[in-house]
Each structure stands twice: as C-alpha cells, then as structure tokens.
Amino acid sequence: MKILWMILITILFVSHIALAQDLILEKNPEEIIILAGDSMFYQRETWMVDLQTGENIYSWGKPISLNDEEVFIQVEGGVLLSTINDASNPNTIISIYADQPTIGMIHLTYPLHYLNLNYLYQFFWEPDEAAPIGRLLVDITNQNQEAIRNTVFVIADQQFDLNLEPFETKRLIVKEFQTMSAEKISRYNPSYFNDTNIHFFWDLLLPDEILFAAKAEYFEKSTTGVVFLGENYLSGETPQLRAEVGESTDIVVEEKIEKQEKLNQIFNKEGKEVLYDTLEKKSYRVANRGTEKKKIEVVVPLQAGYEFISCSVPLDRTEVNQISFFLDLDPQQEMKVSLEVSGKNFTSGFVFR
C-alpha cells in the first residue's frame, strides 16, 4: 500500500538540468479514500511543501497501474506550471511557480482500481406508515493482495475508518433516509403484462443527493416478521422509482363489452364493407376484497380514430392509444365504471380491443 511516495531529488533532467529544492515538509498522515458518483474509489494524497520564490520542482512516485491522464493534480500557494511523465522514469515531475516564499499544498487524486464496490438500496414499509424507510448500503471489496489498514473512506458524505484484509468484502450502512413521497398502487393492464392479473407496485420518490446506480430490495414489515417482496435495479438518473412488489390477490377487475355497433357503413361495387363508424360501450367492475384501502389503476387500450362520448369517472391519457382511470376503494367496496366511445372511418375492428 505504501508504494505512494514523494521524494526530493537533487538533479532532474527536465529539458535542461534543474536543481530540486529541499521543500517537502510533511505528507498527510491519513490516506483518505474518496468515493465519487461514478462508482469508483479515488485516493486523495496531500503533501505540504515549503515553496520558494520562482520555480519549484518535485518528483512523485506514481503507482505503476495508473495512466498519466488518470491523475488529477491541484496546488495551493502557487501556480501549477507543468507535469512531466517520462517513459524512462516511473516518477511524475511536478513544477510549481510561487511569487513569494510560502507554505503550499500539493493534492494528488487518482483512482484505486483494486477496490471494488456495489451499492444496494433496501426499503422497509411498516404497517400504518405513510412511506417506507430507505437504507443505502455499500459492499467494498479489497481485490489487492495487501491489506488496507486504518484507512478513512468517505462515502455519500459519511466517513468510515476501515481495515480490509486481502480479498475481503465489508458491507456498510451508509445512510438511512425517508422517501420524499410514496404510494402503493395496483395496476390492471393486460396489454402490457400479457395476463389479467393485478400487479402491485410501490411508487417512490428518493432524495436527489443519494442517487446511485444500484440494486434495490423491498420488504414489508408486519406483526409476524419481515417479508421480502422483490428487487429491481435503479439507473441512478432519476429520483422516481416504480417497483413491482407482487400481485394483488384481493382485488377483482372484470371487464365487459356492453355494445359494439357499426354505423354509416360504406360498401364497394362487390358489396364488401370498406369503411364504417362505430358506437361502443364497455364496463368495468372493480372490487376491493382486502382489509386495507387500495388505489387501483385500470388501463384501457384503444384503437386509433376514437372519440369519447361519456365516462363515469375521470380519465387520464397515458399514451396515444391508451387511457386509464384510478379508483380509491375502501375495504369490501366495489365500483362499476362505464365508458362510451365512437369510432370514425374504421376499415376493421372496433375501438375497444
């Protein structure tokens, strides 16, 4: 681990011979490993230096596994003039200009490829709670043959002091948080799910500051214990999360075509029907057979070229040829929803599929 070092050199061949100065005072005694949002670990190595007026030259023993472009260098107390990487020399030469003598800092930040991590979200919804509690965890694996001792890890603004043996994995609870908003909803959409089951979802809104690409696991707490409901993966790009956590076995949705009539039919010379309008009616019976209040979305696929005549509940247009309606049903409550539409200039089929 201690292959990262900075040494004074008395003579450097950088275009011409230049004298290095004895300016290194102290290296930061802690190796601070910083976690960035791209799921990589980065080490920030800080050196305190005694800058003299003019050009100051240093040599850093860069790890062999690093490419030159992977190292980010910042300085305090002076201006970074140049960095030189010579194929014949494993060190990186750093040149800093200072207007006057001062104490300066050199910060070197670079990725640690031998550390692997995986994020994990867990959500626990307790009875009678309005929203689940979220938990962000991270698994850290040391893929190096050397142990990591007394190292400070900074993950999502949280600090951890860790020891990691070679090829050891540790799981950390980084943060527990409240979801911004949450809703349980059952959806009936045969055209999407390819079945007539009622699929149960959690719609969650997460805090922006802890968004990562990760697997998410979902649990429901009850008086009898904790039930695992399922898992999916987050992209880390949006705080909106829709998780399918099972199927609603206590909700009934029955649909029925009440009427489908053809009007204004047009026939060709051979007597074949080539164009017509329609008048159609469809009904849904939706029942909540459970012991809790339920929110239910029923999706209705339609053929293009329709016009609404009437509907007994408000409708939302989810896609060009698809609408939906929502019902909030108390335990043991049921409702009937009726929709009437007309179809214009059809050559085949009806509005209701």
**Strands of 24-113, DSSP E:** 24-27, 32-35, 41-51, 54-61, 72-76, 79-85, 91-98, 102-111
Which residue type occupies 277? D
Under the banding of pLDDT at 50, 70 and 90, the label for residue 8 is very low
Tens of pLDDT, residues 311-331: 889 887 766 788 899 999 999
- Distance from C-alpha of 172 to C-alpha of 13, rounded to nearest angstrom: 47
Write the CA distances from 329 to 29, 98, 242, integer angstroms.
63, 73, 21
Q: What is the CATH number of domain 5-111?
A: 2.60.40
Which residue type occupies 255? E
How far, rounded to the nearest angstrom, does the alpha carbon of residue 292 sit from its chain's CA centroid?
31
pTM of the full predicted structure?
Answer: 0.72
Tens of pLDDT, residues 267-311: 998 989 999 999 999 999 999 999 889 999 999 999 888 888 988
Under the banding of pLDDT at 50, 70 and 90, the label for residue 164 is very high
Tens of pLDDT, residues 81-123: 998 877 666 778 889 999 999 999 999 888 888 888 889 999 9
Look up tokens 């003039």; give the residue: 81
**CA atoms within 13 A of residue 224's CA, in its CB half-sphere:** 2
- Distance from C-alpha of 162 to C-alpha of 169, rounded to nearest angstrom: 11
User: What does the domain layout of the chain look like in residue ranges?
Assistant: 5-111, 115-149+161-247, 251-346
CATH class of 251-346: mainly beta
Q: Look at residue 322 in the predicted model and tell me its pLDDT.
A: 86
Same fold for the pair 5-111 and 251-346: yes
